[in-house]
Amino acid sequence: MLDIRELRRDGEQVAARLARRGLTFDLAAFRALDAERKQADMRSQELQSQRKQSSREVGDLVKSGLSVDDAKARVADALAKIDAEMAAEVARAEALHQQIEALLLGVPNPPLDEVPDGKGEEDNVEVRRWGQPRQFDFTVRDHVDIGASLASGQLNFDLAAKLSGARFSVLTGSLARLHRALIDFMVDLHSDKHGYEEVYVPYLVGPEALRGTGQLPKFEQDLFKMQGERELYLIPTAEVPVTNLAANEIIDPARLPLRYVCHTPCFRSEAGSHGRDTRGMIRQHQFEKVELVQLVRPEDSLAALESLTGHAEAVLQALGLPYRVVVLCTGDMGFSSCKTYDIEVWIPSQNCYREISSCSSFGDFQSRRMQARYRHPDSGKPELLHTLNGSGLAVGRTLVAILENYQNADGSVTVPEALRPYLGGRETL
RNA sequence: GGAGAGGUGGCAGAGUGGUUGAAUGCGCACGAUUCGAAAUCGUGUUUACGUUCAUAGCGUAACGAGGGUUCGAAUCCCUCCCUCUCCGCCA
């Protein structure tokens, strides 16, 4: 959420930064609303103050020996005058606060200055590459073909469709095991080598948590919502429950930075992407992800984004998968992010790099929504944290990348060395 | 699922209608004392919003959440959420 004080102080500057995302922020409308709010606030608070005073008077009079009825009679006129105006005025102020909040909740995070301008995917800027895409001396097959014909295990979309319809998958045998191995491998790497604390969280969350990270109120159509008397949603990413661990908390600065690694399934309705990636397990309604989340002091967030991205890259390096890192342009960034690096892994069958991780800094955008704060050592006052997260990595897409990059002419797939301990020493699938 | 008890400040724990944002204790911060420390003494110690140059002052709100009664609610009533104990069931 935008900082309303900054908006008041320097609205032009905020609007200009938002304009880089292709968004027109109606500053005049905001200012008019805020001016009205200010007026309503001051008036309603004044009336409340007067009313409080009258109540005290009754108390004082009763104490000094007057009967309750007589005491009430003394202030009746004053109260009548206040009440004639107060209820409506308080309601007006409340309504204006809600209007302003609703307005602000719908505005995305302004990008950092260093983020490149652009309209969409094509304007993202490559930052670095790692690894050489392998030259194949046979015809490359995609993961769907490989997964359908492997001797030791199967990737089966028909079985999944029977159960749940399109965009689900069933894995059997060595592929199911590889999938599980990837999760363990990633979580171990981040907790043992990169200093993240492993955490297990609910997969169903309430609307408050989703509002905190920015999925609500604007993107409800992307979520799966439960039937039933309680309002619960399946998490679209571990970011939601894990970041919200700090919601409404004032963290002891000695505990910072908080760094969590969390494996969860993720559920996305993929509304609005019906035609995209319909083949294979690139884009599913359900997938596993190992997520990295950091909560840091504001001055540390830029460095934290670099290191977090590096931690995600380390997974690909350990697996020997070629990738590149791009910084997303203003037009391609997520709603809550102020700077995002996408890591894209080489997919041989598509002859291009595809997103396998997205690492973002949110500045204080999420923490303001969820009131995730820490006590500043100098001022002693609670101040907003900065939040970050990144996939480390998307497990299904990692499995796709391994099948395709490590495929052999005979239809088998070589197991990357780093994973062999997790597959009972197995060298090929 | 059945029966009962609760949710108050960093923690413990008072407060069942009146100036109580909240006693007391602990913790914490600063100061005094001390060679230094402990002990002791003193002072201070929730948050949000508004106003403001101001993290000064002032105002408003908040005792799980929301609603109600009342001149006045932490205290009374209703709904919801959560925690604990016992019984049942269960991976």
Q: Which of A44, A54, A357, A358 is catalytic?
A: A358
Instruction: Provide Rg for chain A, Cα atoms.
Output: 27
For strand B, which residues in window 358-417 of chain A come within 7 Å by CB? 373, 375, 379, 381-382
What Å value separates CA A246 and C1' B53?
33
Handedness of CA A357, A360, A366, A372 (dihedral sign): positive
Residues A89-130: pLDDT tens digits? 888 888 888 888 888 888 999 999 999 999 999 999 999 999
H-type helices in A137-252, by residue range? 143-149, 157-164, 173-188, 207-213, 239-243
- Please indicate whether residue A8 is annotated as part of the active site: no
Distance, CA of A262 to CA of A202 (rounded, Å): 11
Q: What is the mean pLDDT of residues A52-66?
A: 83
Contact A262, A200 (CB under 8 A): yes
- Please indicate whether residue A324 is annotated as part of the active site: no
Ranges of beta strands (E only) in A193-349 are 197-198, 204-205, 233-234, 250-251, 258-267, 286-296, 323-327, 339-347
Given this model, what pLDDT does residue A277 score?
A: 84
Residue A58: CB less than 7 A from any atom in strand B: yes
DSSP state for residue A376 in the 8-state scheme = -
- Please indicate whether residue A355 is annotated as part of the active site: yes
Residue A250: CB less than 7 A from any atom in strand B: yes
Triad A160, A292, A173: Cα angle to 5°: 30
- Please indicate whether residue A268 is annotated as part of the active site: yes
DSSP state for residue A270 in the 8-state scheme = -
Inform me whether the pLDDT recorded for A249 exceeds 90: no
Encoded tokens for A12: 């032009």
Distance, CA of A185 to CA of A183 (rounded, Å): 5
Residue A75: CB less than 7 A from any atom in strand B: yes
Taking all residues of chain A, what is their mean pLDDT, rounded to a whole number? 91
DSSP state for residue A124 in the 8-state scheme = -
Backbone φ and ψ of A137, nearest 5°: -105, 25
Residues A313-322: pLDDT tens digits? 999 999 999 9
Of A75-89, A145-159, A168-182, A315-329, the least confident: A75-89
Q: Residue A404's closest CA among A426, A422, A429, A423?
A: A429
Given this model, what pLDDT does residue A90 score?
A: 84
What Å value separates CA A287 and C1' B36?
62
Distances in Å between the Cα of A236 and the Cα atoms of A204, A268, A283, A288 are: 10, 5, 13, 10
Distance, CA of A156 to CA of A159 (rounded, Å): 6
Inform me whether the pLDDT recorded for A63 exceeds 80: no
What is the number of alpha carbons within 13 Å of residue A387 lying toward its C-beta? 31
The SS3 of residue A150 is coil
Contact A248, A232 (CB under 8 A): no
Q: At A17, which helix (H) or strand (E)?
A: helix A11-19
Distance, CA of A88 to CA of A77 (rounded, Å): 18
- Please indicate whether residue A358 is annotated as part of the active site: yes
Given this model, what pLDDT does residue A178 score?
A: 96
* Positions on chain B within 7 A of a protein C-beta: 18-19, 47-51, 55, 59-61, 71-72, 81
Given this model, what pLDDT does residue A262 score?
A: 96
Handedness of CA A420, A423, A427, A428 (dihedral sign): negative
The SS3 of residue A237 is coil
Inform me whether the pLDDT recorded for A5 exceeds 90: no
- The ipTM value here is 0.82
